[in-house]
Amino acid sequence: GPDEFAAVQARELVELDRRARRFRNGRPRIPLAGRTVVVVDDGIATGSTASAACQVVRAQGATHVVLATPVAPRDRIGWLRRQADEVVCVQTPDAFFGIGEFYADFSQTPDEEVVDLLRRAALTMPVGGAVADPSGGDVEVDIPVGRVRLAGRITVPDPSRGVVVFAHGSGSSRHSPRNQFVARDLSAAGLATLLFDLLTPDEERDRANVFDIRLLARRLIDVTGWLRGQPVTATLPIGYFGASTGAAAALRAAAEGGFPVAAVVSRGGRPDLAAAQLTAVRAPTLLIVGARDDLVLELNRQAQARLLGCENRLAIVPGATHLFAEPGALEQAAALARDWFVDHLALAGHPGRA
């Protein structure tokens, strides 16, 4: 009856509000007006929830709605095409008893995992859905290094007080969402940034290259030389930001490169992999480690003891593990890196300052 229906509706609206607040975590709703929207369902049985989702995004102004699912009954596809402009379905078996039969693992996804995945995705989501570019100097580059060319992206605010070159960790690339998050923080503080791939796709297939610190450091040195040849960055003080094995490459490059490096920051890094070069590092070095990253924290303590020729600091982020995936952990690491670079690159740009 109507009273029972109203009671269920009120209860579910409270639950919807709770989920929206938890999953968005203060982030604004992404506007859909004038956009193509892809609605993804893990499998369609009756199609009722998929249909409702398509109607909702259409009501919010989507101009083209695509419904994508791995599996659905054959007779539901035609019906769903009345709700979506396009339906993409991998399998439409004749015998269909339930979605779970087509999965090896159809267990529930915990809310905590959903929250973490959405938070990670938000790290690469520009505010308002547009690429933030304070200066217009945000371009893809193709850097010649020896016999290969390395893809990168350089962002140069106007004015810039320095440039920070990112050396990513093993198994990562210039698309690392964590490094991109830090880079945006640095750009907002008036620092140019360069994220680039240390290896070509062919080189990455050989896992030995990923841990070849000598090779990675050489690439970083060569890219620094390329930066010195670009008019927009030729005179800017240089800093290195390294994550995981990239931190070892950054420290070795700072020790051996021949270019003055104003500051180095390691996030969850493995500076121990450059142990033989640490005593030769002269650049002020900040080591950022999560408090719960026990093994890496101990390795960083040992590495810090070898940094005898430079100003250095070990910053421990409370509650953070190796990937800084905990709420607020990456933000703390980015703030530490930003302040270190701003202070030391500014001093390098004004050597007379005390």
pLDDT tens digits, residue range 192-251? 999 999 998 888 888 888 889 999 999 999 999 999 988 889 899 999 999 999 999 999
The CATH-assigned architecture of domain 26-113 is 3-Layer(aba) Sandwich (3.40)
pLDDT of residue 194: 96
pLDDT of residue 85: 93
pLDDT of residue 61: 86
SS3 140: strand
The set of long-range contacts for 208-214, using a CB threshold of 8 Å and a minimum separation of 24, is 210/170, 210/171, 210/245, 211/170, 211/245, 211/273, 213/245, 213/248, 213/249, 213/252, 213/273, 213/274, 214/252
Backbone φ and ψ of 199, nearest 5°: -130, 155
Backbone φ and ψ of 250, nearest 5°: -65, -45
Helix residue ranges per DSSP H, the chain? 2-24, 48-59, 74-80, 111-123, 177-188, 201-204, 207-210, 213-228, 245-256, 294-304, 329-349
pLDDT of residue 135: 38
Query: What is this structure's pTM?
Result: 0.62
pLDDT of residue 351: 45
Q: Provide the CATH topology of domain 132-349.
A: Rossmann fold (3.40.50)
pLDDT of residue 207: 82
Both structure tokens of 64: 């083209």
Regions of the chain where pLDDT drops below 50? 126-136, 350-354
User: What angle, 0 to 180 degrees and rounded to 10, lies between the N-to-C axes of helices 2-24 and 111-123?
Assistant: 50
pLDDT of residue 129: 33
pLDDT of residue 169: 83
Every domain of the chain with CATH number 3.40.50.2020 lies at 26-113
pLDDT of residue 122: 67
Q: Please give the Cα distance from 63 to 258 (Å, whole number).
A: 55
